[in-house]
Structure 1
Amino acid sequence: MTYYKFQSRLLRKKSGKPADIRPYLAAGLTIAGAVMFYFIVFNDRSGVVGKIAARILLNFFGRVAYIFALWLAYEGVSLWRSKNEKKWRMDFALSALEVALLCGLVKFVNVYFPAVPNYGGLLGKNVAEFFTRLFGPAVGGALNLTVFLYALSVIKDFSFKDIFHRVYDVAKRDIEEYRKVRALAKKLDDRRVASSSGSDEVGKARAKAVAPEAAQTATPPKAPVKPSAPARSQTPAPPPAQFPPAPPQYVNYKIPPLDILTPPKNSAEEEQHHAHLDRAKVLQQTLGDFGIKVEVGDIIPGPVVTRYDLNLEAGIKYQSITTLQDNLALALKAASIRIVPIPEKSAVGIEVPNPATRIVTIKEMAQADDFVKNPSPLTFALGQTTDGVPYVTDIIPMPHLLIAGATGSGKSVCIHSLIVSILLKARPDELKFILIDPKRLELPIYAGLPHLYDPSVTPDKVGIITDARKAMSTLKQLVYIMEKRYELFAKHTVRNIESFNELARSRSVEGMHPVHYIVVIIDELADLMLISRREIEDDIQRLAQMARAVGIHLVLATQRPSVDVITGVIKANFSARIAFQTTSKVDSRVILDAIGADELLGRGDMLFLPPGAPRPVRLQGTFVSTKDAENVAKYILAQGHKPSYEEYVRRDGAAASAAPVDREKEEKEKQYILSALRLVLERRRVSQDLLKAHFGSSAQATNVLSLLEKDGFIMKPEGTNRWTIHYDKIQEHLANEESTAKE
């Protein structure tokens, strides 16, 4: 990363106009007035005229007159430093209003507390009477304070809302740290109590074992010794409890090395040095032609765009730069440029496309320190910023991600970079993928990986989900798995998957094993929404709201960023979003709630909005070629590991687990299905309302309807909203059940 510093004397245009001395003259008179005021009010030896003037000022301003000298001095210094007489006049007028309002506030203190003398003077009395006559003493005092604070915020150019948010964030952070410390202290106390109780039991056992031996050696064996005492002392200690065998841990599994990835190509940034300088001059000259004087500060070249930081003179509005965006692009001979504020530098950044772009490869990102040192199995090498710094994030705190953009903008490559980044960090027993690809084009590369997962089938049948209706069933079963995990966590009194896995690894609870993360990737959300928008939206909403604590994360991608696909319900639960190039400002607002994505260049150029961030970050996405993705997949498949997991939903709707099956519940659900089949055969139709009226429960009707569809008794053809009933299969199933019952 190279920085180019430009001094103002190199690029500033020389003007032959004489310097304006009026601001300096006004500043000098103001400072002199402040000094004179100080000697009049604070000095008893100011003469007769000074005493009379001091008495008049104290009667008019009250005790506020003591800070009047400081205020005048501050205004004079401000004018001397800013040299902007117009802005100073406005600040001076607002400051005078502040003094009057402050006198009024002091008078209101005397109104509410009569014992306190009136320190507001004649001016404060008149201001307080003005507000009191119009609004009364209570509302008038509050309004006086409100106007005072607002004028203060205008003068000092700050927002009380920002101050409140900062205080709130600090307080929230302190409370969270306090809770973590309390939880850790409680855990240590529990362990200390457990260890002390265990040591007490060991001490008692040793005492019981030593007591008979001591009695036997101390007293002669005159009487026969009871056989029970020696037998108890010679009995060996019971063996420790044996834990059941843990699930497959892929002991011989190896993370793919970086040697199988394509190395990055050498960049030609140094050769573009003179081009950056020429563009800086063009920027300054073009803005100067429109009467805007700027200084070019840092020039920060990136992989795709170069940012030119402009330092504006006092009094120049940011909007005056943005309105000239098309003119600047024309002068720079660029297809499009982007203008962004830079708060940390108090500057304006002009992002201009580079003549020659540089590809950000997955190997380059995987070698970055932020990626290597990140311990999370869900580490995502997202790309590089406009100044060439690697940007690595984590899916866990997001906790869900929305990816959208036009066709060919880089959305599918971003999904590959996400999958490959995780495969370079996570083992199959740490993380599982649910890959849904209705287009059947992008994700078949990863078929057969041991990281694959599908809660609706057994591990030997898992694969890439390409059928939209099968994807709907998988999402419904995933909701069921989520609820079962919540029950498991509640049983062991843990709050999230990190605490559960930590407890399981400590082996403090018999039969506990760590659970894996689940990342659901839907490559084209629009195809699922066409089948059944309401059901898909409900399942996604429920997973997005509740699944974070149990380690389930969603990644939704679409190339149609319209309101009927990215609905308000989905956007409300996906605070982390990636926007690639869009065809219109409307699509950009649908994704980010702001414009900007329509100005991107495509081919991986993105805007990433982190959770809680005020504005998106422009990045050049990580490029994963088909060869790199295939090399990673082949390396994993060559190790011979197969998909293995215990969390899936059987055909009878019960979740598979290590616990014994509830035969009574299994038989009850079986009877529900048989009753529903007889009802469908009798009525010659099926619907949720019909099953609800029959079973008396909407939830039971939904569960039975999904089981009937899963078993193939009913189906809903694509493009229709009516169920197709397979009566032959229903009759055959009922006949088999009757014959089995007779036997």
Structure 2
Amino acid sequence: EIPIEDFFQKAKAFESENKSAPIESDLDQVLSDIESGELDADRFGPIAEEDDILYFDGGQDSTKIKPVFADEFEYREYSPKSSDTTFAPDYEKLKEQITNDFEDYLLPPVELLRKSREKSEAEPEWVKQNIDVINQTLLSFDIDGEVTNYTKGPTVTRYEVSLGAGVQTKRITAIADNIQMSLSALSLRIEAPIPGKNTIGIEVPNQVRESVFFGAVVDHPQFLMSDDPLMLAVGLDIDANPVYTSIETMPHGLVAGSTQSGKSVCIASIIASILLKNNPNQVRLMLIDPKKVDLQQFADIPHLVTPIIDEVKKAVEALKWAVSEMERRYEVLKRFRSVNVKDYYSRRAQDSDFELMPRLVIIVEEASDLLISGGVDVEESILKLTQKSRAVGIHLLLATQRPSADILKGSIKANIPTRFAFRVPSSIDSSVVLDTTGAEKLLGKGDMLLSENGLIRRLQGAYLSPEEIEEITTFIKKQAYPQYLFTHNSLIEAAKTAELTAELDELFPEVARFVVKEDKCSLNKITQEFGIGFNRATQIVGSLEVYGIVSPNAGTKPREVLIGYERLEEILGKLK
């Protein structure tokens, strides 16, 4: 026990021993260290590692805790972007071609194509033998004439016969079969007389046929240096000279020939000629291929206005689009007071509201089948295009295996002055294509007759292999991708609308306005108001339902009117 007086004495003594001066001195020292920026790192003494743990759960190591995500969340570890940009530059480059109007677009070089071998200048022995046989045949029929010249082409040789005074040319044509028999020739064609000459031409197939490659025809200054964007490399004539023609001067063409005659290769060479000279802003193509094989090698090129069409319904709507585009272009030329596309580009290219008007070439394979299947709509569209589209830069090429007179009518042929005739089965077919005989005697495989405004000449069409076509299209596709003006889906929708419009009753607009006015759709009222039968009224109401004017049938409940006057007039306006 300690007396209370002793307790207070000891407490007073302890207070006197522990004065506050050292604490104040320590505080002064800390303040001075803060001002000078010098603080001891260990001024608070050693700190245990466990003090760093703010949350601790059951002794589990916090570094092993993994995130948990909801089931619909897809967890992906972060990974830095690869520096490999192999595909990106190509994609960006393709996009740039669209934005810079193809300023950097490169035309396919002719080096991608095969060339013909050099020809021998020596005169073959069989040429001399044929000259002797022809002279001997003329002598045996007592015809005063002889072979005075010949021209050796890649496929046939033309022997020129000079007749004596007073000898009729019909005497030569009358013995054509005898001359062919004497020569043991596969076929024989007589041109009496040769245009521009005073001799008769007898065309006989060569014993050794020479190949004519497309690359040899296009690799010529006349083609490469031409400013005509629609110049075509066709082949070699009988004098072995390259032959070119222009779609712009055609302005439409007909290509006819049976199987293995060279028709499809000719179409391919026409398309290739266009691709070699034009970027997609200069010429656009519409390809219609019901056979689904001939033109598919040109799929996805940037020159196409729509993917290659291989169905009749789509083809019908595509040709209707071409007609509407023709009318739209005429409105543009009218606004700019231009005569045609050439005049439009030459005089109006610097105008502020100038718009590009690329040439449009429409190529139709198996046109006869399309005319049969498409009926009046196809015939009407083709007729309008052939009559009016030249001035606005739209051109049509029709290809067919069956040049029948009841299909290719005179009204269509009258506006297609340029004809490419390959071998056909009969002289009647030849007359349909050329308005004269001769195509039935061709040899096939590119042997052709080209008729331009009535002038006919024999050519050997240039051969373009599928491998060369692939080289050209691959070169083009690496630079740009297609920007279609319309798709197949839009054509299908247009076809459906056309079908519905064709099936509409002539009273449809009046009944529709009556129903909207009454705000009620009653079959009895419609039959009484318009004096029609119940079946016809039912069909009209069904059409009202298709166009969303009235609600579907709900049993005994009356149909509801779903739209007002403004919406109704919009629908009726589209049907006109």
Report the Cα offset of residue 565 of structure 1: 2.3
Report the Cα offset of residue 375 of structure 1: 1.1
Secondary structure of the residue aligned to 1:556 is strand
Distance in 2, Cα, partners of 1:297 & 1:452: 51
Identity across matched positions, percent = 36
Residue 311 of structure 2 corresponds to which residue in structure 1? 467
Alignment of 1:558 onto 2:372: no
Secondary structure of the residue aligned to 1:342 is coil
Residue 536 of structure 1 corresponds to which residue in structure 2? 378
Residue 331 of structure 1 corresponds to which residue in structure 2? 182
- Corresponding letter in the other structure for 2:201: G
Show CA shifts across 1:471-530 (max 9, x none): 10010111111111111110110010111122343x1x2121331000000011122122
When normalised by structure 1's length, the TM-score is: 0.54
Question: Where does structure 2 lack aligned partners over 5 or more consecutive residues?
Answer: 1-97, 511-538, 553-560, 568-576
Could you tell me which of 341, 355, 363 is aligned with 2:207?
355
Residue 421 of structure 2 corresponds to which residue in structure 1? 579
Residue 482 of structure 2 corresponds to which residue in structure 1? 643
Secondary structure of the residue aligned to 1:565 is coil
Q: What aligned pairs does 1:23-422 form with structure 2 within 5 A after superposition?
A: 249-268=101-120, 270=122, 272-340=123-191, 341-422=193-274
Q: Is the Cα–Cα contact under 8 Å of residues 301 and 482 in structure 2 kept in the other structure?
A: yes
Show CA shifts across 1:165-187 (max 9, x none): xxxxxxxxxxxxxxxxxxxxxxx
Larger radius of gyration: 2
Distance 1:553 1:695, change over 3 A: farther
Distance 1:449 1:313, change over 3 A: same
Q: Is the Cα–Cα contact under 8 Å of residues 342 and 349 in structure 1 kept in the other structure?
A: yes
Distance 1:689 1:437, change over 3 A: closer
Residue 515 of structure 1 corresponds to which residue in structure 2? 357
Matched length:
431
Residue 75 of structure 2 corresponds to which residue in structure 1? none
Secondary structure of the residue aligned to 2:355 is coil
Distance 1:692 1:502, change over 3 A: farther
Residue 83 of structure 2 corresponds to which residue in structure 1? none
Could you tell me which of 470, 493, 515 is aligned with 2:337?
493
Alignment of 1:589 onto 2:431: yes
Q: Is the Cα–Cα contact under 8 Å of residues 307 and 387 in structure 1 kept in the other structure?
A: no
Distance 1:528 1:343, change over 3 A: closer
Q: Cα RMSD over matched residues?
A: 3.4
Show CA shifts across 1:521-573 (max 9, x none): 00111221222321111100001111000000000000011123211221111
Alignment of 1:606 onto 2:448: yes
Report the Cα offset of residue 379 of structure 1: 0.8
- Corresponding letter in the other structure for 1:283: I
Q: Is the Cα–Cα contact under 8 Å of residues 304 and 354 in structure 1 kept in the other structure?
A: yes
- Corresponding letter in the other structure for 2:205: P
Distance 1:330 1:650, change over 3 A: closer
Distance in 2, Cα, partners of 1:307 & 1:387: 9
More helix by share: 1
Report 1 or 2 for greater relative contact order, CA contacts < 8 Å, sequence distance ≥ 6: 2
Q: Is the Cα–Cα contact under 8 Å of residues 107 and 278 in structure 2 kept in the other structure?
A: yes
Show CA shifts across 1:126-157 (max 9, x none): xxxxxxxxxxxxxxxxxxxxxxxxxxxxxxxx
Distance 1:262 1:733, change over 3 A: farther
- Corresponding letter in the other structure for 1:433: L
Report the Cα offset of residue 266 of structure 1: 3.6
Question: Where does structure 1 lack aligned partners over 5 or more consecutive residues?
Answer: 1-245, 454-461, 654-668, 697-722
When normalised by structure 2's length, the TM-score is: 0.69
Secondary structure of the residue aligned to 2:232 is strand
Alignment of 1:619 onto 2:459: yes
Residue 730 of structure 1 corresponds to which residue in structure 2? 546
Alignment of 1:629 onto 2:469: yes
Show CA shifts across 1:649-681 (max 9, x none): 99699xxxxxxxxxxxxxxx9xxx9xx99xx9x
- Corresponding letter in the other structure for 1:566: L
Distance 1:687 1:490, change over 3 A: closer
Distance in 2, Cα, partners of 1:490 & 1:631: 41
Distance 1:620 1:726, change over 3 A: farther
Distance in 2, Cα, partners of 1:689 & 1:473: 17
Could you tell me which of 520, 545, 549 is aligned with 2:387?
545
